[in-house]
Amino acid sequence: MGTRTLEGKIALVTGGSRGIGRAIARRLGRDGATVAVAYARDEAAANEVVEGIRKDDGRAFALHAELGRHGDAASLWGAFDAYADDYTPGGAVDIIVNNAGIGRSADLASLTEDGFDEVFAVNVRAPFFIVQQGLKRLCDGGRIINISSGAARLALPEIMAYGATKGALDTFTLNLAKELGPRGITANSVAPGIIDTDVNASWLRGNPDAEAHAASLAALGRVGQPEDVADIVAFLASDDARWVTGRVIDATGGSGL
């Protein structure tokens, strides 16, 4: 059991059904928050996360919200409101975690305009409008936590557009901190390095050489786990982090030092 420091708080975690988002949802649930576990396609995975949180005596519900299309933020908040009677009185929210993201990208020569639009629509436009349209619901003293990437500060030409989305997200974070500070709302980015999730499964899992190489990139000498990121998010969501805002918190285990 966690320490339930978030008792009475309501958290939205996009992409909460798998990978880093699942670990964040579970951790915030253990800390006492009611968690809206948003997913795009894998309802079963989202329901599993919800069940896991409930088994830990937490409160959670699965929320279908496919991001990356015009109107996605409005649909998300509309779906969120459907749970108002049971979970989210007045549609209020205390913690928004913009975690859903896609890594689809290509190098400069091969990236198409559609590919560019898609990665920016999911990784940048969706968080932007989720926050914009969530502002009237977000309680004073609330938290916005954007899941960025170490790729925002490294030159990785093979995933150039992906890195650019995370750079844009970090700039969004910075501006939110300034804009919302007077309401006691903090906004921070968390920037993971290589984390063992489905996104990396095809080249990482069951490949000792790839794992050893990935581990060697981090000063701490191992591949990151979703919980490594979730624990940082839990800190930022807590009252202990009330004086941290507008920052990108590195969650790479010391990669590229």
Ligand X SMILES: NC(=O)c1ccc[n+]([C@@H]2O[C@H](COP(=O)([O-])OP(=O)(O)OC[C@H]3O[C@@H](n4cnc5c(N)ncnc54)[C@H](OP(=O)(O)O)[C@@H]3O)[C@@H](O)[C@H]2O)c1
Catalytic residue annotation: 162
As measured in angstroms, the least distance from the Cβ of 61 to ligand X is 15
Residue 220 Cβ, how far from ligand X at the closest point, in Å?
Answer: 15
Q: Give the burial class of 101: count Cβ atoms within 10 A of its Cβ; 0-12 exposed, 13-18 middle, 19 or more buried.
A: buried
How far is residue 150 CA from its own chain's centroid?
14
Rounded Cα distance between 99 and 97, Å, is 6
Q: Return the number of the residue (14 or 245) whose C-beta is nearest ligand X.
A: 14
| 255 CB-near residues (< 8 Å, 6+ apart) | 150, 193, 194, 217, 218, 219
215-219: list long-range contacts, CB under 8 Å, 24+ apart. Answer: 217/193, 217/255, 217/256, 218/193, 218/194, 218/252, 218/253, 218/254, 218/255, 219/253, 219/254, 219/255, 219/257
Nearer to ligand X, 88 or 149 (CB): 149
Binding site for ligand X (CB under 6 A): 14-15, 17-21, 39-42, 45, 65-68, 99-103, 122, 147, 149, 192, 194-195, 197-200
Taking the complex as a whole, how short is the minimal distance between the CB of residue 65 and ligand X, in angstroms? 6
Burial class of residue 160 in the structure, from the number of CB atoms within 10 Å of its CB (0-12 exposed, 13-18 middle, 19+ buried): middle
5/128 with CB nearer ligand X: 128
CB of 64 to ligand X, least distance (A): 8
Is 198 or 239 the residue whose CB approaches ligand X more closely? Answer: 198
